[in-house]
Amino acid sequence: MADFDIAIIGGGINGAGIARDAAGRGLKVLLVEMNDLGSGTSSASTKLIHGGLRYLEHRAFRLVREALNEREVLLRMAPHVIRPMRFMLPPLPGLRAPLTLRLGLMLYDWLGARRLLPPARTIDLTHNVVGQPLQRSFRFGFEYSDCAVDDARLVVLTALDARERGADIRTHTKVVRTERREDWELVLNNRGHRQVATARVLVNAAGPWIGEVAETILRTPLPKPVRLIKGSHIVVRRRFEHDTGYILQAPDKRVVFALPFAGDFTMIGTTDEKFVGDLNAPAPDAREILYLCDVMNQYFRDKVTPDELVWSFSGVRALVDDGSDRPEDVTRDYELVLEEPFRVAPLLTVYGGKITTYRRLAEAAMTKIGTFFSTRPAWTADSHLPGGDFPAQDFYDQVAGTIARWPFLSEPQARRLVRAYGTRVEMILGEAQSIDDLGPQLTEDLTGAEVRYLVEQEWAETAEDVLWRRTKLGLKASPDERIAINRFIASLGAAEARAAR
């Protein structure tokens, strides 16, 4: 008998989502991630839980409706790491007509089931704070709802829930070879240590690596061709003080978002480019950076220039190749292909998808592979991720409750902690009576207690894991602070002990 019912290659949002859903249905699950959780495309997204307004033009109604409906399901599931956001769409002369935009937003509102999110409306930009950073020629715009998410934390929380439901999650473990018989035999490399595991079903959820995994590790052709498309973002100092994001129409008919980011910053993206190069180090090129600056500068008074970037990052989508000419036209919908040749173990390959649809993708995966087992029914629609067990509209009550219990925290400190950990702040703050009880102050915002929690509970092993994927404090941390965090982690010894297990 195999060690596991299902083995999943890839600890991005899709692999983690399938692991959680399957574990919650009572299956024995192994999830293998070669680096840190969420270190691939799932930490390089625009960080929106959205229907995708632009996909309406592609008549992708199924995808848009499913994604719109997921917004509130996910918001209820993770009201800490997901938050409602309003978006401003200013019409630009010569592009889509205002009437077209307004009708599109009416359709967007109509397609999506909304209970918590307010509808679209027209805004007078001359008398609204949202109009202030824009050039004076923008006199009105359309405001609508979607949500923002901490993408990397969503992956970690999903994996955490999978583990708490019995899944075996192995980070820094690469699948290096497989043998396909009646069961799968997987050879794994965990920092030079060889491990072997067997499973009845294998899921290739390796994101942009699916082709490489198929060719070199599964030694079987991908069932459908994949199209790798790179998207890049830049981060600059804050261009506006409010919480509304901007969706900017670019002259090439694409859209670019300008979003409030990590308190003091504005994140701008994305591009759509054919990907070539090293999957382990995708990065924006000068042309993409200039493109994003140019789009911003058509709308904002305060010009953005390439020399003022505080951060930039790129991610690569692995989409089913539908033959579209332009990268931005390739469908963002997901596709799951199950191959079950006679007498050998089944293989499920995951293409595409969005952070927004990951829960539905996982359900669809279970519909396909659940037939090989007797499993419990679908369960994730009414569930909570760890720390998300409070009503979505009560976020600020949670913050107030946190300050009441730990009065030494400032409002921004409490808000950041509740955003990241929800009700699990308790596991970090415990019985602390003062900030000094939380261990060394590693950065202005980061305490030893938080890092200890991340190492012990959330698979963090380096300052990079802590600063870029478990928090976004990397934008403010100095090189000395990074060294201090790594020293502190080493002193805990937990990472080493876990690696040796």
Using CB under 6 A as the criterion, which residues of the chain lie in contact with ligand FAD when the complex forms?
9-15, 32-35, 39-42, 44-48, 174-175, 205-209, 213, 217, 231, 270, 315-317, 350, 353-356
Q: Which is nearer to ligand FAD, 203 or 399 (CB)?
A: 203
Render 98-157 in DSSP notation, one character per residue.
HHHHHHHHHHHHHHS--SSS---EEEEGGGSGGGTTB-TT--EEEEEEEEEE-HHHHHHH
Task: Give 70 or 143: the residue with its C-beta nearer to ligand FAD.
Answer: 70
Distance of alpha carbon 103 from alpha carbon 89, whole angstroms: 13
Closest contact distance (angstroms) between CB of 343 and ligand FAD is 25
CB of 224 to ligand FAD, least distance (A): 15
Q: Taking the complex as a whole, how short is the minimal distance between the CB of residue 140 and ligand FAD, in angstroms?
A: 26
Cβ proximity to ligand FAD: between 337 and 400 the closer is: 337
* 77 within 8 A of 195, measured Cβ to Cβ: no
Question: Closest approach of Cβ 441 to ligand FAD, in Å?
Answer: 31
DSSP structure string for 345-361: --EEEEE---GGGHHHH
The Cα–Cα gap between 437 and 431 comes to 9
Length of the chain: 501
Judge contact between 463 and 473, C-beta under 8 A. Answer: no
- Nearest-CB residue for ligand FAD: 12
Q: Considering the complex, what minimum distance in angstroms separates the CB of residue 317 from ligand FAD?
A: 4
Residue 416, helix vs strand vs coil: helix
- Distance, CA of 435 to CA of 408 (rounded, Å): 7
Residue (175 or 425) nearer to ligand FAD, CB: 175
Nearer to ligand FAD, 419 or 424 (CB): 419
- Quick one: 43 or 249, whose CB is closer to ligand FAD? 43
To 10 degrees, the CA torsion angle through 415, 417, 422, 427?
Answer: -140
Compute the least distance from the CB of residue 72 to ligand FAD, in Å: 15
